[in-house]
Copies of this chain bind each other. A is one copy, B any other.
Amino acid sequence: MVVDGVAAGSGGTDEAVDRLFHALADATRRDILHRCVRGELSVSRLAAAYPMSFAAVQKHVTVLERAGLVTKRRRGREQLVRTDPDAVGRARRALDELESAWRARVDRMSGLLTDDAAGAGPGHGTGPAPDDARTNTEKGPDR
């Protein structure tokens, strides 16, 4: 489970989410996504637009593809790249989950402790944290 099961649920596997955000964490790749949202482009045409080698762009496209953000389709000797709109939604969902968790917390404590929430809890209680270390058992060493 992974506590984040939830998380997992939304965007996919933990690893899938890793790949998704990792792919988005590079300006060149984000730019490729933008260009290929407007229409399909061959890899070489894309490559011509950046100050780097064809091979480098090819690798970026591979990263995007493994993350499920783009799909490739062959047309003759070219490979046309297109952004998959659904994937963008998938990434959003992973974030929405975080946001909703936050909202839930706000709900629950709408009046309780003010700023020092922490103070209260842990105190020794320590309740909160105790942790669930379990949870991570598996997620930790992911990379």
Q: Which residues of A are in contact with B by a Cβ distance under 8 Å?
A: 3-4, 7, 14-15, 17-22, 24-28, 30-31, 33-35, 37-41, 45, 48-52, 75, 80, 83, 85, 88-89, 91-92, 94-96, 98-99, 101-102, 105, 109, 113, 115, 117-119, 121-122, 124, 127-129, 131-133, 135-143
In the complex the two chains form, what is the Cα distance from A33 to B100 in whole Å? 12
CB of A129 within 8 A of CB of B31, answer no
Known: A14-B27, A92-B95. A140 touches B34 (CB 8 A): no
Please give me the 3 A-B residue pairs with the lowest Cβ-Cβ distance, nearest first. Answer: A39-B128, A21-B25, A40-B118
Contact A95 B98 (CB under 8 A): no
Query: Considering the chains assembled together, what is the distance between the CA atoms of A1 and B127 in angstroms?
Result: 34
**Do the beta carbons of B31 and A139 come within 8 Å of each other?**
yes
Q: A113-B39, A129-B39 are in contact. Are A136 and B49 (CB under 8 A)?
A: yes
Bound Cα distance A75, B31 (Å): 42
